[in-house]
Amino acid sequence: MSSQSFLSILTGSFSTPCADNPTVAMIEAGYRAAGIDARYINCDVKPEALGDAVSGAVAMEWAGFNCSLPHKVAVIDHLDELAESAKIIGAVNCVSIRDGKLIGDNTDGKGFLASLKEVADPSGKRVLLLGAGGAARAIAVELGLAGAAHITVVNRDPKKAETIAALVRDNTACDAAAQGWEGGVRVPDDTQIVINATSIGLGDAEAMPPLALETLRKEFVVADVIPNPPKTKLLRQAKERGCTTLDGLGMLVNQGVIGVELWLGRTLDAGVMQKTLQEIFGASE
Ligand code: NDP
């Protein structure tokens, strides 16, 4: 008789109900390809039940879990420790459980950074960041920690842009400024990386952040956080102008890879995970 346990390693996500969570298919494909007997389970957790859900995960010896909105800030009250960037960002989307101890991290920005580093090192670069929501905040902090020289945060609500710029200036060696979004944003010539971190383009291949396209130079890296559809109008237009483009699938894949490294100390095959997402969302760039 085999001495192997009948219990799989448990990981998953605490979120609100959604029709489809592509992360489940992506991570489980990664587990299967690596021969890891683990599951990634999406759980519907109401805000008032978050504490009980966290205790349940500890009691059932889960290795870790992701949490999406609205739990990213509230979960912090239930954790023992925070990683550096999660502390600065003030939000956690990935919790590891080690010897019953809960450690919170934020993999949104780390996933983006890992994807960006496949085409450009952000160290010393000037960045134009569109949007000032949760994704923009995490990306700005990670870019600052990775040594970017300057970030201009552009948002309709300039107060939100200034909050992120101040967070970067106060917690990293990177300089940052805020800019209100009026009409088509002109990208300064000395920019090297342009990032759309707004929700414009999600579920709409023709939606386009208001941007003066003629200011995009072929030397720029243009990145989009939108995973679905991956070929956003911004990336198609940027590619036509000769820019290096980066879609939102890589950010999602790398978040999964980083999460499993934190939980199990194993590195999943990013290619297998990317292929799974492409089957769900359609081909990328
Ligand atoms: P938030 O709701 O926190 O922020 C949305 C941002 O988009 C805000 O800055 C908002 O501006 C801006 N925005 C929305 N509509 C417009 C518009 N019409 N014109 C100008 N600005 C607009 O969302 P998140 O930051 O959490 O997520 C943003 C996107 O990132 C989502 O589409 C999500 O799918 C994607 N994402 C992708 C990930 C990946 O792994 N690929 C991971 C996480 C997120 P304002 O403040 O003025 O309202």
State the pLDDT at residue 18: 63
The residues annotated with a catalytic role in the active site are 72
Domain identity same for 25 and 97: yes
Q: Do residues 253 and 225 make contact, with C-beta atoms less than 8 angstroms apart?
A: no
Q: Do residues 200 and 173 make contact, with C-beta atoms less than 8 angstroms apart?
A: no
Domain identity same for 182 and 238: yes
In the chain, at which residue ranges do the beta strands (DSSP E only) sit? 9-15, 38-44, 64-67, 81-82, 94-98, 101-105, 126-130, 150-155, 175-180, 193-196, 221-224, 244-246
Domain identity same for 219 and 273: no
Cα distances from 110 to residues 49, 114, 117, 135, 275, in angstroms, run 28, 6, 10, 11, 21
255 lines ligand 1 (CB under 6 A): yes
Q: Do residues 109 and 89 make contact, with C-beta atoms less than 8 angstroms apart?
A: yes
Domain identity same for 209 and 229: yes
Q: What are 137's two structure tokens? A: 């905040």
- Tell me the residue type at 143: L
Q: Output the residue whose Cα is nearest ligand 1's atom 7.
A: 198
| Domains in the chain, number | 2
| Ligand 1 pocket test, candidate residues 112, 113, 198, 254, most atoms within 8 A of CB | 198
Strand arrangement, sheet containing 193-196: 175-180, 150-155, 126-130, 193-196, 221-224, 244-246
Beta bridge pairs of residue 44? 15
Domain identity same for 116 and 240: yes
How many angstroms is it from 200 CA to the middle of ligand 1? Answer: 7
Q: Output the residue whose Cα is nearest ligand 1's atom 28.
A: 199
Domain identity same for 162 and 98: no
Q: Which domain holds residue 263?
A: 2-105+251-281
Domain identity same for 179 and 228: yes
Domain identity same for 19 and 121: no
CATH number at residue 175: 3.40.50.720
Q: State how far Cα 16 lies from the chain centre.
A: 18
Domain identity same for 142 and 62: no
State the pLDDT at residue 1: 42
Query: pLDDT (tens digit, 9 = 90+) per residue, 20-70?
Result: 688 999 999 999 999 999 999 999 999 999 999 999 999 999 999 999 989
Domain identity same for 60 and 187: no
The DSSP call for residue 49 is G
Domain identity same for 139 and 49: no
State the pLDDT at residue 282: 73
Query: pLDDT (tens digit, 9 = 90+) per residue, 158-199?
Result: 999 999 999 999 999 999 999 999 999 999 999 999 999 999
157 lines ligand 1 (CB under 6 A): yes
156 lines ligand 1 (CB under 6 A): yes
